[in-house]
Structures are given as structure tokens and as C-alpha cells.
A and B are shown apart, each in its own frame.
Chain A
Amino acid sequence: EAEVAQSPRYKITEKSQAVAFWCDPISGHATLYWYRQILGQGPELLVQFQDESVVDDSQLPKDRFSAERLKGVDSTLKIQPAELGDSAMYLCASSLSKDRSGKLFFGSGTQLSVL
């Protein structure tokens, strides 16, 4: 069964350091999402790509966060510098663009701890 691949599974870093997360969506899924989920909260959309283009990054803290999907396939989310408040689960998800229905397939996530 096709899955969304994410790495690393866990990341521990010190504040002010740079961190990067990688995501490979299900083959053929043109839409890719990065969500952040704080413990006890629902996922919050950070950025949405349609192929290689950003569709929505209104909630992305652009002073420290960046995201790219250069070839419209895999994607990288970067935080520089990391802050204590960035500790959360970072979830990547993908969907078929023609579906346009919100049926997202999530990866296993990256649990980030900033010390």
C-alpha cells in the first residue's frame, strides 16, 4: 500500500539551531501539505503545494520557516533558528489534486523537541 514517507521520525535540537524535515508524497499526488500539531491540539496547516507552487502559506512563520517542493514531488520544511515553541509534531500529507475533497493521506510525522 502506498504511503507518505517522512524523515526523520524524531528530532531533538537546541534552540537557535537549524532543522529540516523531508517528505515524499504518494506517487501521483500533486497536492502536498505540511501541518504542525501541538500536543492536545488539532493539526494546523503551515503550507500547501500544488505541484511545485505554493497555494497557501498564510500560517507559515516566514521569518524562520521555509518550505520548498522544487520538482513537484518531494518536499523539505526548514526551521532556522528553532525556538522552544516550535516543539511539536510536523505532519506531511498528500492528496490527489483532482479529488479536491480533503481526503488527506498523512505520513508518520516528525516529532520535534527543541531544548
Chain B
Amino acid sequence: QKEVEQNSGPLSVPEGAIASLNCTYSDRGSQSFFWYRQYSGKSPELIMFIYSNGDKEDGRFTAQLNKASQYVSLLIRDSQPSDSATYLCAVNMEGGSEKLVFGKGTKLTVNP
């Protein structure tokens, strides 16, 4: 079964620190990787996507991908209390139907 694994946390960091969120996936043929943010009681919102090995930066967010290790991470610099949410890693598995598989999510709390 194709899986996406995340540390469920909770992860707690002080305001201004770097939050590091990690994800591993089982399907070696996966090509597309996504991070969604989900506030409590709300629906997921796409914040980052990455297709190639290496780093991709967007403002305070950096996504990192290592396909050889089947590992993707999200770094949040200068963490703010408003970043407190659950972060879902999603991987587009092979198979023709472009099936997006989500991990269970990591709950992040940024303490003022």
C-alpha cells in the first residue's frame, strides 16, 4: 500500500524560531509533493509544492525534496503564532489517476 508518513507531533516552537516538519513516502515513482496547512475546524490550504530535488523557497517557507531518500520536508522560518496549525504532506502517487495521498499531518504550535 502506498503510504505517506509524518510525525504527528505535536511540535512546539517559540515565536521567531525555525519549525521543521518532515515526511517520508513509500512510492519511489512519485513526482509531485505538496504541503497543505489546515487550521482547526477548517479545510486544507495549499502552501507549497515541489517537483525537483533540492530546495524551493517562498517567503518564510522552504520545501526540501530528496527523492533518493524518499523524503520531503517543510521549514518555516521566523515562526509566528498564526502559523499554528496542522501541516499535511501530500504526494501524487503514480497510477494514471494522479492520486493524491495525504499523511496524517503534524500539529504545530508556535508559542508567543
Q: Is B43 an interface residue (CB 8 A)?
A: yes
The answer for the CA separation of A108 and B90 in the assembled complex, in Å, is: 19
Pairwise interchain contact B92-A101, C-beta atoms closer than 8 A: yes
Considering the complex, give the chain A residue whose CB is closest to the CB of B45.
A106
Hey, what's the 0/1 contact readout for A91-111 against B, CB within 8 Å counting as 1?
100000000111111111100
Which residues from B are CB-within-8-Å of A45? 99-101
Pairwise interchain contact B32-A106, C-beta atoms closer than 8 A: no
Pairwise interchain contact A42-B88, C-beta atoms closer than 8 A: yes
Hey, what's the 0/1 contact readout for B85-112 against A, CB within 8 Å counting as 1?
0001010100001111111110000000
Pairwise interchain contact B45-A44, C-beta atoms closer than 8 A: no
The answer for the CA separation of A103 and B90 in the assembled complex, in Å, is: 10
Pairwise interchain contact B97-A55, C-beta atoms closer than 8 A: yes
Secondary structure of the A side of the interface? loop
Which residues from A are CB-within-8-Å of B90? 42, 102
- Size range of the chain B interface in the assembly: 20 to 34
Pairwise interchain contact A48-B97, C-beta atoms closer than 8 A: yes
Q: Is B34 an interface residue (CB 8 A)?
A: yes
Q: How many residues of A contact B (CB 8 A)?
A: 21
Pairwise interchain contact A106-B99, C-beta atoms closer than 8 A: no
Q: Is B46 an interface residue (CB 8 A)?
A: yes
Hey, what's the 0/1 contact readout for A26-65 against B, CB within 8 Å counting as 1?
0000000100000011111100100000011000000000
Considering the complex, give the chain A residue whose CB is closest to the CB of B91.
A102
Residues of B within 8 A of A (CB): 4, 8, 32, 34, 42-46, 49, 88, 90, 92, 97-105
